[in-house]
Amino acid sequence: MNGAESLVQTLVNNDLDVCFTNPGTSEMHFVASIGTNDKMRSILTLFEGVATGAADGYGRMLGKPACTLLHLGPGLSNGLANLHNARRAGSPIVNFIGDHATYHHRFDAPLTSDIHSLANPVSSWVKSSKDAKSLPADGVEAITASLMNSGQTATLVVPANCAWDESVEPLPGAEKPVPPAFVKEDIVTAAKRLSRGKQSLLMMSGNALSLEGLELADKIAQKTGAHLISSTFASRIRRGEGSVKVDRLGYFAEQAEQQLAGMEEMVVVGTKAPVAFFAYPGKSSEFTPEGCNVTTLVEPGHDIVGALQALVDELDANRFTPRRQTLQRPELMTGALTSDVVGCGVVKFMPDNAIIVDESATSGFGTYTLADNAPGNDWIFLTGGSIGFGLPNALGAAVACPDRKVICLHGDGGAMYTIQALWTMARENVDVLSIIFSNRKYMILQIELARVGAQTMNKKTLDMMDLTNPELDFVKMSEGMGVAATRATTAEEFNQQIEVAMQHKGPGLIEVVI
Amino acid sequence: MNGAESLVQTLVNNDLDVCFTNPGTSEMHFVASIGTNDKMRSILTLFEGVATGAADGYGRMLGKPACTLLHLGPGLSNGLANLHNARRAGSPIVNFIGDHATYHHRFDAPLTSDIHSLANPVSSWVKSSKDAKSLPADGVEAITASLMNSGQTATLVVPANCAWDESVEPLPGAEKPVPPAFVKEDIVTAAKRLSRGKQSLLMMSGNALSLEGLELADKIAQKTGAHLISSTFASRIRRGEGSVKVDRLGYFAEQAEQQLAGMEEMVVVGTKAPVAFFAYPGKSSEFTPEGCNVTTLVEPGHDIVGALQALVDELDANRFTPRRQTLQRPELMTGALTSDVVGCGVVKFMPDNAIIVDESATSGFGTYTLADNAPGNDWIFLTGGSIGFGLPNALGAAVACPDRKVICLHGDGGAMYTIQALWTMARENVDVLSIIFSNRKYMILQIELARVGAQTMNKKTLDMMDLTNPELDFVKMSEGMGVAATRATTAEEFNQQIEVAMQHKGPGLIEVVI
C-alpha cells in the first residue's frame, strides 16, 4: 500500500470523504488512490479557487472538513483568495498540496516555489510530509488541526514520492477536538455589566448565530434589555421562520455608528469590538462609541454556545421563551426590475430550509431584509472580503446538504472571478440557483470612490469600475458551462422565472439586469 | 499633490505607462490619479490573474515593465500563479498592492493578511511604503529593481494613506540598470571546451534565443560543430524566416535523453543544466549524460548576447554567416481535424512578425514544428508550468505590440483558468486570435498518470482529468465576453475559419474540436 492509498483510507476512517480537486502530475498517485477508494468522493473543478471556495461552503454547513487537492505552489496560489475567506469564517478545511519529490526539490524545476510562505497567511497549521510512512499520521494531524478552535485551515504539503513510496497501514478514526472552554469569570463579569440597566448590546458572531445560540441570546435580551447585533460578515446565520431576529451591523461607518450610538455596555460574543472594513481619510477605524465598555464573553472559536448558556444561567433567564420569527411571504412587485423586486420574488417562492450564499454586494439588500420572515434559512456571508467566494461556496454548500435548495445571490463583477464554478455545478448536478445582479459595474467601488474622497469622477476613472464595453452575457457563459440560464429585464419576467427556478431541482442561473 | 498622484507621474517619467488592474477600495486614490494622468493607460481586468499574466506578456515583448494594481493580499493571491510564470521568464513587472492605511492594520479588518509572505515567493524585491512622501522614491526603486538581472518582479505594497496623504514632487527618470557582465574566464573556458572536437552543444535560454543571440550561436555552431538546443520552456524565442533553427529540448525525459545522448561537452547559456519538469519513480531528475562536462558561459539574466559575442570573438568565428530559415508555407490538409491540420492552417495564413503564445500542452506540436519555416515570429512559452498563462499573456503581448498579430494556442483545460481575459481583449480591441484545442480532457495528465506508474485507469480516476459532462462550449463563453467566435470540427471548416481570422484585425476565437 503506497502513501497515497494509506492516506486516503485514513481520511475516510476519519470522516473526511469529499475532495475538491484540480490535480496535476505531482498528484497522480493521490488521484489514483481516490479512484480506487469507494468512500472518497472526488469533485473536479476547473480552477483552484472553486475547489477552496467549495471546501469553505462545505465546512461552514457541516462543521467538518472536506479536503482540497491542489498542484504545488501555483495551484495553492489560485486557491488562496477563498482560503482567506475560509480563515475569516473559521471553516474547517484540509488542503493537500502536491509537491515535487523530496529529492527533486534541489533542482529548482519550473514549478518549484516556497509553498509554506504561500500557505502560512491562510493556514493555522502547515506541514510538509517527510516520507510515505509519515503520511497517514500527518493526515490525522491535519484533520485534527482543522477541527481545533471550532474550525480552521490545515495545509499538508505532500511530496510526490511520499505518495508513491510504500507506506504503513491506514490509521483509524482519531478523537475529535472540542472547542476551548469559555472562562467562567468572563460570564460573571458580562452578567454584571448587562445587569446595570445601561444601554447594552451583544455583538455576536460564530456559533452565537446558530439557532441554539440565537435562542440563548434572545433570553439574555429579554432579561436584560440588551440589543442583539451580528457582525457584518459572519460565517453563517440562522434566519427566517422559527429563528430569532438579530440586527446586522452596517457595512458603512455611518450606519454602524448610528446603530451603536448611545450604547454603554458592549458584550462581544465570539468576535471582537467592531472596526471599519476599510480606513477612510479623517474617519475613525473603530465603531465603539466613546465611553462604551467592551466586555468579552467568549473568544472566537471557543465554546460560544456553552458561554451563552452559562450567561443565561448566571442571569437566571432560562424561563424566557425565544421570540421566534414568523413566516410572511411578500407580494410580488411589478414594473422595473430592482433589488426589491428580486427580494420579493425570492422570498415569495423559496422553499423551507434553503441556504443563501450572499455575494450580492450592493444588490442584495432587498432580499436580505425580507428574509427575516422567509421560511427558515441559513445565510452565508463573504467573511474575508475576497471577491469570488459566492459561486464556489454555493457549490460546496450544496454538496454538503444535497436535500436543501441553495440560492446564490451574486454581483456581476464578483461572479466573474470564479465563474468556472458553474461547470462543476452542472457536472455534479447540484441544486444551486445562481442569481446574478447585472448592474454592469463595480457599484461598490463607485460608492467607495466618493467615500474615500478621491473625487475624480471623470470617464477614465469610472471606466476602471465599469463592466460595459462589452456587456457580459451571463446566459451565454452559463450555457457554455452547461448550466441552463435565463435573463430577466422586468419584474414580470423575473417573477415568472424565479417561480419556475425555485421548483426546479438542479443547477440554474438567472441574470437579473438591473 | 497626494502620494498616488506623485507616484503615477513618477512612473510615467520613468517610461512605465501601462497599468493592468483590478482595483478595490484601498486603491481608489491610485485609480483616481491614473484617471487624471493622460500618459498612464489603464486596462481593467475581471480577475487578477489576467492582470499579472498580461504584465508578463507585455514585459516579455518590450523588456520594460508594465505595472499591476491589485487589491491587498487576496488580489495579489489571485495574481500569484502568473507571477510565478513571470519570475521563471525573467519578465520585468512592477506590482502595486494596495493595503489598509498604516494605522488601520492593527485592527485586523477582514481583508488584512501577510502580504509580504504572499509576495516573496514570486518577487525579487518587496517593500511596503511607510508614508506618502516616500512613495515616488519607492516607485523608482521598484522600477529599477524590475529591470535588474534583465528583468524580474518588484512588488511595492502601498498603504491607502500613503496614496491619499500629501506627498512630494514627482521624481524624474532614473538611470536604467544594465545586466550584470559576463565573466571573461568563462568565455575562455567555454571556447576551449568547444574546440576539443568532442560532441558538444549549447543549451540556451533567455536572450540567447533573440535573433541576435541565435545568429551568434549559429556562428559558434558552424565553427565548432556544436548543436544548438533551447530550453523546453524559454521566455521567448525568435523563429521562422530569417532566424536560425534551434532544437527544443523535449519535455519528456526519454525525448530529452535521446537528444542529449552521446554529448560530451555542454555549454549552458543563460540557463542551467536541464532537469526533469517532474520526478518520476525510478527515473533520474537530471538529463545530462554521464561523463558530459557542463560549462557555464553566462548566468541567467546576465549579459547573454555580450557573452555569445565574446565567445564568437574568442573562437574567431565572426566570418561565418548565420544560416537563416527560409519561408515554406505548408499545403492545407483535409479531412479529420488534428493538431497537424491546425499547424498547416496557422502557418499557411499567418502574417509576418506574428507573436505566438503557446499554452497548447499536448495539442500544439503540429504548429510548433511547422513554424520553423513560417514567416518570422516570436514564440512565447509557459515558463513556470502554472496553467492559465496563455490568454492573459496574449493580451499583454498585444498591448505591447499593437501592430503585430498575436496568436494564442491554448488547451481547453488551461484556457478555463483565466478565461476572463477574453473580456479585456474585447474591451481593448486587441489583435489576438485565440485557438482553443478542445480535446475535452486534461490530456497531459492522462499521459502523466501512466508515466508516473499510477496505473489505476478506472473511470473514477480518469474522470478527474475529463472535461466532458458537460462539454464546454467556448463559442458561447467567448461570445458571452464579447469576443466573436467560431467552432471547427473538420479540416475544411478550420481552414476556412483560419483564413478569415488571420485577415481580421481584432479579437477572435476559434474552438477546434479535436
B450-471: pLDDT as tens digits: 888 776 789 999 999 999 999 9
User: Quick one: what percent of chain A has pLDDT higher than 70?
Assistant: 100
Average pLDDT value for chain B: 97
What does the pLDDT read at residue B216?
98
What does the pLDDT read at residue B453?
79
Asked whether the beta carbons of residue B470 and residue A449 sit closer than 8 angstroms, the reply is no
Q: What is the grid cell recorded at B476?
A: 458561447
Could you tell me whether strands A406-411 and B247-248 are parallel, antiparallel, or unpaired per DSSP bridges? unpaired
Judge whether residue A166 has pLDDT over 80.
Answer: yes
B73 reaches A (C-beta below 8 A): yes
* pLDDT tens, residue by residue, A453-484: 776 789 999 999 999 999 999 999 999 999 99
**Cell 435565463 found at:** A486
Judge whether residue B213 has pLDDT over 80.
Answer: yes
Q: What is the mean pLDDT of residues B19-27?
A: 96
Residue of B nearest to A121 (CA): B114
Of A107, A275, A479, the CB nearest to B275: A107
B26 reaches A (C-beta below 8 A): yes
Residue window 296-355, chain B: list those with CB within 8 Å of chain A.
none
The dihedral over CA atoms of B144, B53, B394, B423, expressed in degrees to the nearest 10, equals: -130
What does the pLDDT read at residue B53?
98
B410 reaches A (C-beta below 8 A): no
Find residue B411's DSSP bridge partners: B437
Read off the pLDDT band of B46 (50, 70, 90): very high
Judge whether residue B388 has pLDDT over 90.
Answer: yes
What does the pLDDT read at residue B450?
85
Residue of B nearest to A35 (CA): B461
Domains of chain A: 3-164 (3.40.50.970), 184-315 (3.40.50.1220), 339-513 (3.40.50.970)
B471 reaches A (C-beta below 8 A): yes
Judge whether residue B420 has pLDDT over 80.
Answer: yes
Instruction: Find which of A1, A28, A417, A452 to mutate to test the B interface (most B CBs within 10 Å of its CB).
Output: A28
Contact B246, B386 (CB under 8 A): no
What does the pLDDT read at residue A450?
85
| CB half-sphere exposure, B119, CA atoms < 13 A | 29
Of A73, A448, A462, the CB nearest to B25: A448
Q: What is the grid cell recorded at B171?
A: 521624481
Please count the other Cβ atoms lying within 10 Å of the Cβ belonging to residue B349.
16
What does the pLDDT read at residue B3?
98
Cα dihedral B478, B483, B484, B490 sign: negative
Judge whether residue B371 has pLDDT over 90.
Answer: yes
Could you tell me whether strands A265-269 and A293-298 are parallel, antiparallel, or unpaired per DSSP bridges? parallel
User: Quick one: what percent of chain B has pLDDT higher than 90?
Assistant: 95
CA distance A328 to chain B (A): 34
Read off the pLDDT band of A362 (50, 70, 90): confident
What does the pLDDT read at residue B205?
98
What does the pLDDT read at residue A457?
81
Find residue B407's DSSP bridge partners: B356, B433
Average pLDDT value for chain A: 97
What does the pLDDT read at residue B485?
98
Find residue B20's DSSP bridge partners: B43, B68
Q: Which helix (H) or strand (E) covers residue A296, if one does?
A: strand A293-298
CA distance B478 to chain A (A): 8
Read off the pLDDT band of A401 (50, 70, 90): very high
Q: What is the mean pLDDT of residues B70-80?
A: 98
What does the pLDDT read at residue B88?
98
Q: Which residues of B touch A113 (CB under 8 A)?
A: 84, 121-122
C-alpha–C-alpha distance, residues A373 and A206, integer Å:
22
* pLDDT tens, residue by residue, A218-237: 999 999 999 999 999 999 99
A15 reaches B (C-beta below 8 A): no
What does the pLDDT read at residue B23?
96
User: Quick one: what percent of chain B has pLDDT higher than 70?
Assistant: 100
Read off the pLDDT band of A66 (50, 70, 90): very high
A110 reaches B (C-beta below 8 A): yes
A282 reaches B (C-beta below 8 A): no
Read off the pLDDT band of B153 (50, 70, 90): very high
Judge whether residue B81 has pLDDT over 80.
Answer: yes
Residue of A nearest to B413 (CA): A46
Asked whether the beta carbons of residue B49 and residue A78 sit closer than 8 angstroms, the reply is yes
Q: What is the grid cell recorded at A284?
A: 475613525
Judge whether residue A382 has pLDDT over 90.
Answer: yes
What does the pLDDT read at residue B233?
96
Question: In this structure, which amino acid lies at residue B417?
Answer: Y
Of B392, B387, B385, give the one whose Cα is nearest residue B412.
B387
DSSP three-state, residue B202 = strand
- Centroid of chain to Cα B497: 27
